[in-house]
Every structure is written in structure tokens, then in C-alpha cells.
Amino acid sequence: MRTTEQQVLRMYVRTREDFQAMRKRIDNRLGKKADGKIQKIQDERNISTDDIENFIQTSDQARQQEKNIEKMLKKALEKFPVYNEWLKDVKGVGEVSAGWLLGEFDIHEATTVSKMWQYAGLNPGLVRGKKRITKKDYKPSMGKIIREIENIKSKGTDYIIETDRLVKGDKPTEGFVLPYNKNLKSFLLGVLATQGFIMQQNNYAVEFYYPRKTRLEKEESIIENNGRPGKDDGKMWKDASPGHRDNAAKRYMIKMFLKDLYAVWREIEGLPVRCPYEEEYLAVAHHGKKESQLTKVNHLI
């Protein structure tokens, strides 16, 4: 269960995103360019100069609120030893990124790094599917009750149950609860991987992203997909689309980063640290120095 401090981090991150989204919508309506200049929309939309100035002022105020919240977020982060002792020094991880990481992951629940990978939507394997069932419709034969949640519409109670059906760990399956945190996955792969690690050329990009991307360009193992059909299914990795290989390399890089975060965070909190399954049971060394023949490339990414 997340601590109060973690809940505060989540609130700061989400509130900042609210102001950012509002600012971007206003800027789009104004036709504001990346350089800050406003396109000539006054004549096209019959908007007065005063009104345009009001919208610009509102956008500027939203931007200032973003900056204010980032300052509050930084103070909140300083309450976390893992931030002070390690995370703040990771190149490409700013206050907002740290807020996402420390606010979303529950390190006490994450007894293995595999649980962090699963929660982040980075596990391509099969997991037990969960369903949401109303309390009145639930029968024990449906599956084990994981937790209760409020149904906002009916004001009643729903159950999240674990079924015997196996579903893809990183893909949605119709009729089942999404098996991962969708927003967290989007942040990790869409923001942290690209804008943080790759653009900043940090150690994780250099050590994991580029070598994995190069390897996949020559890899002859077959892409297998147990979830929704994909256009590259059945192809060799070297024949897959560049975008597919790029995303696979990003996933691998982020998994290796989370592996380090898991170990450092658990150790700082005085919690036991377990090696990933590949290392503990298949003798796969960290940083890819020694790989088991039992582990295919498409399983690692």
C-alpha cells in the first residue's frame, strides 16, 4: 500500500499534468507555434486583440503553475532516501520523472523486479487474467476475490477477481481488467525512454538501448505474439519494422533501469532483494554479459 508521501507525489504529478494539458489546449486553439509565436488567427476567427491577450495570459498562468508545482514536487521528493541517494543523480531523470517512478511503484509490494515489470506493462508473458464483477453477480466459481472497489455509477461494490484464464501481460484482453498501469507504461516508454534517456545519452541508452537495437537488426529469431495479432508476427526480428525494433530496444533499456531501481530502493528501505528469474534460475548475468540459450530475444523484450 502506498504511503501518504507517495500519494502526495502522485497528486503533484497529476496536477502538473492537468495544468500542462490545459496550457497546450489553449496554445493549440491560439495556433501557438513551438517558438512561442501566435499564428494570424485574429482575422480568420474574428477574435479581438483583447480576447487573444486574455487567452495568452491564461496560458502563461498555467505554465507558471506548472513551474510552481515542480518546486513543490522537488521538496516532496527530498523525503525519499532513494531519490536523495541515487535517483536524482541518474542522468535524464528530472523531478517529474522521479515523481512518476516513486509515486506509482510500491516497493514494498514489489518483492521482485518482475512485479515492477508487470505493473509497468513490460512483461510479454502470460499472467492470470482479472475481471471486474459486481458484488451481486459474483460466484466463488468465477475466481478469487483480489479486492473490492466502489462502483461510481451504481454506488455499489464491485469485486476484482483473479481467474484461471491466462492473458498477455503487456496487452489488453477483451473482457479482462488491463493487467498493467497504462499511464505508467506510456510515461516510461513515451517520455522517460525517449526524452530522458536517449536524448540525454545516459548510461542506460549507451549500454542497453543502442546495443539491443543493433542486435535486433541482425537477429534471426522469430517474433511470436500470444496476444493480439501484429503485422510483424512470424517475421525474423531483422525483417521487422524499424519502429518495432526501436520500441523493443526501449523496453529492454527501461527494464534494465527498473532492475537497478528495484535493487537500490529495496536495499535502502532494508528490504530483501531477489535476483530476476533469468539470473537466479537460468544463470543470465546482468547487463547481458552471459545469456542462457533457453531465453529467446523476444522473451527478453
- Rounded to 5°, angle at Cα 281 from 280 and 283: 75
pLDDT tens digits, 246-258: 999 999 999 999 9
Q: Are residues 293 and 195 in the same domain?
A: yes
Average pLDDT, the chain: 87
Residues 167 and 174 sit within 8 Å (Cβ to Cβ): no
Number of domains in the chain: 3
Non-local (6+) Cβ contacts of 20 within 8 A are 62, 66
Q: Classify residue 22: in a domain, yes or no.
A: yes
User: Once rounded to an integer, what is the mean pLDDT over residues 192-214?
Assistant: 97
Is the pLDDT assigned to residue 281 strictly greater than 90? no
Question: Could you tell me the three cell numbers for 2?
Answer: 502506498
Bridge partners, residue 4, by sequence: none
Question: Could you tell me the three cell numbers for 224?
Answer: 511470436
- 271 CB-side CA count, 13 A: 17
Q: Which residue in this structure is represented by grid cell 523493443?
A: 248
Is the pLDDT assigned to residue 300 strictly greater than 50? no
Q: Classify residue 165: in a domain, yes or no.
A: yes
Q: How far is CA 262 from CA 106, 108, 207, 225, 295, in A?
A: 10, 10, 18, 28, 22
Q: Classify residue 111: in a domain, yes or no.
A: no
Q: Are residues 187 and 168 in the same domain?
A: no
Q: Are residues 190 and 147 in the same domain?
A: no
pLDDT for the residue numbered 52: 83
Q: Are residues 171 and 248 in the same domain?
A: no
Is the pLDDT assigned to residue 101 strictly greater than 50? yes
Q: Are residues 245 and 167 in the same domain?
A: no
Question: Could you tell me the three cell numbers for 5?
Answer: 508521501
Q: Are residues 55 and 32 in the same domain?
A: yes
Could you give the angle at which helices 95-104 and 4-30 cross, rounded to 10 degrees?
A: 130
Q: Classify residue 173: in a domain, yes or no.
A: yes
Q: Are residues 155 and 188 in the same domain?
A: no
Last residue of a domain, one of 163, 178, 193: 178
Q: Classify residue 108: in a domain, yes or no.
A: no
Question: Could you tell me the three cell numbers for 101?
Answer: 517512478
pLDDT tens digits, 118-161: 999 999 889 999 999 999 999 999 999 999 999 988 889 999 99
Q: Are residues 219 and 287 in the same domain?
A: yes
Is the pLDDT assigned to residue 233 strictly greater than 50? yes
Q: Classify residue 53: in a domain, yes or no.
A: yes
Which 3 state secondary structure label does DSSP give 144? Answer: strand
Q: Are residues 42 and 148 in the same domain?
A: no
Last residue of a domain, one of 79, 95, 111: 79
Closest CA to 279 of 256, 250, 251, 248: 256
Q: Classify residue 101: in a domain, yes or no.
A: no
Per residue in 26-36, is it b (16+ CB within 10 Å) or e — as a string? Answer: bbeebebeeee
Q: Classify residue 129: in a domain, yes or no.
A: yes
Q: Are residues 173 and 189 in the same domain?
A: no
Q: Are residues 172 and 188 in the same domain?
A: no
Q: Are residues 64 and 136 in the same domain?
A: no
Range of the domain at 250: 183-300
Which 8-state DSSP code applies to residue 126? E
pLDDT for the residue numbered 285: 47
Which 3 state secondary structure label does DSSP give 15? Answer: helix
Q: Say how far apart CA 247 and CA 186 lie, in whole Å.
A: 12
